[in-house]
Structure 1
Amino acid sequence: MRAQGSPEPSPPASPAPVNGPPSLPRPRLMIAGLSGGAGKTLVSLGLCRAWTRAGLTVRPFKKGPDYIDAGWLGLATGLPPTNLDPFFLSPEQLQALFQYRLQEGELAVVEGNRGLFDGHDVEGACASSRLARTLDCPVVLVIDATKMTRTIAAIIQGVQRFEEGMQLAGVICNRTAGDRHRDSLRQAIEQYTDVPIMGMLPKIKQNPIPERHMGLMSMREQEGAEAALDAIADIIERHLDLDRLRTVAQEASAWHPVPELVWPGDRGPGERPVARIGYVRDAALWFYYEENLEALRRAGAKLVPLSLLDPAPWPEIHGLYLGGGFPEALAEQLAANAPVRQRVRMLAEMGVPIFAECGGFMYLANSLRINGKDYPMAGVFPVHTELSSHPVGLGYVQAEVVAENPFLPLGTTFHGHEFHYSRCVAADGAVLTLGLRLHKGEGMLAGYDGLLYKNVMASYTHTHALALPDWAPRFVQAAMATRRLAG
């Protein structure tokens, strides 16, 4: 059944059976909301933590391009998180990646993003509901019930009828005001719908995880992150029916095995690494898709974890990967660590391939300006970045490679995303080479992104290795060339 006036829904995209092993049980559920701020992150984190504390191996997934929520989900479960983004990956790739990650795990929790049906266009492309259908995944909807009673039943009815093939398996009422309010909500839901109630959450006076300009506070910066997760899990255990939620996950339809995930440039098991690529993972820079790191390993890289905050000498590396993060939160410490700033600039001058995304690009600029004060950075590019009070670039990116570089073939078009509060300001008289023309997105300067210098490429655009198959093999090839030159 379809709501009057709604667009004709696309057919469900269930995993397609192939010749091979029989269907397998794959317990899974998605936690979604009607909008951002409904409480789905709180519920997702609490469920992941509570089930992990109970001894289950929970695989965490986050829909969309979100490093922060994904990082918290990983901390809650003790397992690396996986982002599932229909803008980057085809339904077949999403199914294959989901299957690959579920090889280890008893249960999958997928946190949606934005509103359940909010997508890239009016048809709902890339919406959480589309992902749920692609994964044949039951959905539990978190609804902010503030100042609401009977209306909640109308909302649930609308959600049920809006998109065929979307399995609404239960609802959770959030921010309820007291027993009387909860009784009214329960009566309305039970009288007018057949959707099970999975629990009622009270209003929480203080969020255990503070927020700031890019969402939740980073778990790498918050003291007592583990304790905060336990506090959330305690709330979830008191107010939600965890047994019933687990049953919903366990009763998800059997998973028909799909073709295995294809890794770009995969050299096969047992092959020795051919180059050492350093990647910074500290409190300043830590935004990495796990698939990007794995793609580099499979293409022949030995990954070496590094820090921009520690002045200790680095081991030999033949390439450097600088992910995104919060350099603005640690600008003083980054500026004070002159030995590392000089080391990174020297690597750039030597022609070592360096790939930087967003926060990593900010570190490669001359300086970072915050509230009128300049903090010196690595000085690879004759630009500075200046922090703003509002997002400068926010959303998906469509890019075209328009200049030669070590990482991406000329003429390549690809999808990415950006989320930055800083703007790029070129020094007077600076001659810049920008390697990416954006057909969608803000970028650095006048619709362009991807600053180039020698073998360095830096941009505000984040990329996903499975959506950009040339990136990892070419990065490793460039690092191999550095290794040969070094002898």
Structure 2
Amino acid sequence: MPASLLTCPRILVAGLGGGSGKTIVSLGLARAFTEQGLTVQAFKKGPDYIDAKWLGLASRSITSNLDPFLLSSEVLRNLFWSRAQGVDLALLEGNRGLYDGKDVLGTCSSADLAKSLQCPVIIVADCTKVTRTMAAILLGLTTFDPEVDIRGVILNRTAGGRHQKILRQSIEKYTDVQVLGVLPKLPENPIPERHMGLISDAEFSHDPFSELANFLRTHADLDACLNIARQVPAVTLDLAPLYPCSGKSVPVRIGVARDAALWFYYQENFEALQHAGAELVEFSLLADPELPDVDAVYMGGGFPETLADGLTTNAAMRQSVKERVLGGMPLYAECGGLMYLSRELHYEGATYPMADVFPLETKVFKKPQGHGYMSALVASPNPFYPLKNRLTGHEFHYSRCVDTSGIESFVFDVELGQGMAKGHDGVLYRNCLAGYTHMHALGNSLWARNFVSAARIYKECRDAGRPCPDIRLE
């Protein structure tokens, strides 16, 4: 495909660190511009599912995650521009501090992403107990890497008129950074938090977005923000298809467990399966009595611990899942899905029976048991990845497998990350693979094709009345 000249108004909202208020500002901006009649496409830097879901609700778009570790620079740019074409504003929310990456060079930082996409940056700064020093901080940010285009700052959690006046005057005197907004302290967080960050929208009935949009309209200059987004260069890029074209094989049906218990999924994973030849059928582990008529199942992550009572109560679904797995149906599970497929889940002093596919017990702790990027080598034959293939992903779990003595071997040798046991992740029974690793299909291009191929083998065996074999890639 010949190179194209691509353009789209765009801004990246970054912070000085985690908890600076960039998510609240991003949500408010997304809804405010959407209510103005603009088409806003939201993006989340990093692997975060929860912030991405909230951004999608605020912007009324499906948010894509842009992660320089999970995706190559070519794929990342392709993904961004494929989503950004034809919209009025691409709004990117960064993660952690602007220059925070996975090493001393800031690799995979929000700043790196901004440079890769030639995207101007708006800083959200927590001004609690700070005045003139904020000017020095902003001066340091702008000189630390002159290639990062920092265009403005929104001052957050300011205390009152005098505090706001000194902040604004200091920044205007000592820096060239435009003050785009001065936000007073909110009496309470409009979106409550718990372990793993903001709570799920499925567990929160109040719609906070119009309130946040009004908050930003009142205390920030939205026209100035939009003007910055529009002052961006066009980009010349060979825009390639995100997914390879599939053949004309008979389509298969893949069930997706999607409800308040399990909902951590990347949209691109769904699209990769569909392009490989799958029809996706959503079902609920909480509400449905059994699995639908499908040829395979995909279980993502989520909060099975907070919905554990409902998962246990639905014994018919747990039995249905176990019986299908015993019959050779392919099933791929990540994190929360692993917890569901285990024998028991321990949470806040209670024990909940799960699907009992694997001889494992998981327990939820007060602190994270695994948090960060993951890299692993495929060490055992399985239906989804060839041997010696390198799997890239991430993990964020408060649960841990408290006893893995019943597991004879693991599928993945972990090079980076924690996994299920020291140096290992991924368990396999028949054609069911489960582990703590979350992966992105655009960074693991063989996954969707192999998943669909395994589902097709199962479908052909079932249609012919034959037992399904254990499917193993070499």
User: Taking structure 2 as the reference length, what is the TM-score of the superposition?
Assistant: 0.95
8 A contact 1:273–1:302 mirrored in 2: no
**411-420 or 330-339: bigger deviation:** 411-420
Which amino acid in structure 1 is aligned with residue 51 of structure 2? Answer: D
The aligned residue for residue 116 of structure 2 is 134
Pick the aligned partner of 2:371 from 375, 387, 394.
394
Q: CA offset at residue 103 of structure 1?
A: 2.6
Is the aligned partner of 1:63 residue 2:45? yes
Calculate percent identity across the aligned residue pairs. Answer: 50
The aligned residue for residue 436 of structure 2 is 460
The aligned residue for residue 216 of structure 1 is 198
Pick the aligned partner of 1:300 from 277, 286, 296.
277
8 A contact 1:273–1:297 mirrored in 2: no
8 A contact 2:8–2:86 mirrored in 1: no
The aligned residue for residue 134 of structure 2 is 152
The aligned residue for residue 342 of structure 1 is 319
Pick the aligned partner of 2:245 from 266, 269, 277.
266
Q: CA offset at residue 425 of structure 1?
A: 2.4
Q: Which runs of 5+ in 1 are unaligned?
A: 1-17
8 A contact 2:255–2:294 mirrored in 1: yes
Q: CA offset at residue 314 of structure 1?
A: 3.8
Is the aligned partner of 1:481 residue 2:457? yes
Written as runs of structure 1 = structure 2, the 5 A alignment for 1:43-192 is 43-192=25-174
Give me the whole-angstrom Cα distance separating, in 2, the residues matched to 1:341 and 1:273. Answer: 29
8 A contact 2:252–2:455 mirrored in 1: yes
Q: CA offset at residue 371 of structure 1?
A: 2.5
Give me the whole-angstrom Cα distance separating, in 1, the residues matched to 2:175 and 2:120. Answer: 17
Which amino acid in structure 1 is aligned with residue 421 of structure 2? Answer: L
Give me the whole-angstrom Cα distance separating, in 2, the residues matched to 1:476 and 1:188. Answer: 59
Pick the aligned partner of 1:248 from 228, 237, 243.
228
User: Taking structure 1 as the reference length, what is the TM-score of the superposition?
Assistant: 0.93
CA offset digits 1:117-174 (Å, max 9, x no partner):
0001000000000000000000000111111111111111110011131100101100
CA offset digits 1:361-415 (Å, max 9, x no partner):
1000001011332101110000110010100001111111000000000111122
Written as runs of structure 1 = structure 2, the 5 A alignment for 1:318-467 is 318-426=295-403, 430-467=406-443
Q: CA offset at residue 419 of structure 1?
A: 0.4
The aligned residue for residue 8 of structure 1 is none
Q: Which runs of 5+ in 2 are unaligned?
A: 464-474
Say if 1:211 and 1:372 are closer, same or farther in 2 by CA, change over 3 A: same
Pick the aligned partner of 1:234 from 199, 204, 214.
214
Give me the whole-angstrom Cα distance separating, in 2, the residues matched to 1:469 and 1:41. Answer: 30
Q: CA offset at residue 255 of structure 1?
A: 2.7
The aligned residue for residue 5 of structure 1 is none
Give me the whole-angstrom Cα distance separating, in 2, the residues matched to 1:409 and 1:307. Answer: 31
Which amino acid in structure 1 is aligned with residue 451 of structure 2? Answer: F
Which amino acid in structure 2 is aligned with residue 438 of structure 1? Answer: V
Give me the whole-angstrom Cα distance separating, in 1, the residues matched to 2:67 and 2:233. Answer: 22
8 A contact 2:328–2:431 mirrored in 1: yes
Q: CA offset at residue 25 of structure 1?
A: 2.8
8 A contact 1:93–1:261 mirrored in 2: no
Counting matched residue pairs gives 463
The aligned residue for residue 467 of structure 2 is none
Give me the whole-angstrom Cα distance separating, in 2, the residues matched to 1:426 and 1:313. Answer: 29
Which amino acid in structure 2 is aligned with residue 107 of structure 1? Answer: L
Give me the whole-angstrom Cα distance separating, in 2, the residues matched to 1:322 and 1:314. Answer: 12
**148-157 or 99-108: bigger deviation:** 99-108
Q: CA offset at residue 313 of structure 1?
A: 4.3
Q: CA offset at residue 338 of structure 1?
A: 0.5
Helix, strand or coil at the partner of 2:402: strand
CA-based RMSD of the aligned residues comes to 1.4
Which amino acid in structure 2 is aligned with residue 468 of structure 1? Answer: N
CA offset digits 1:329-385 (Å, max 9, x no partner):
100000000111011111110111100000011000001011332101110000110
Give me the whole-angstrom Cα distance separating, in 2, the residues matched to 1:87 and 1:484. Answer: 37
Q: CA offset at residue 273 of structure 1?
A: 5.9
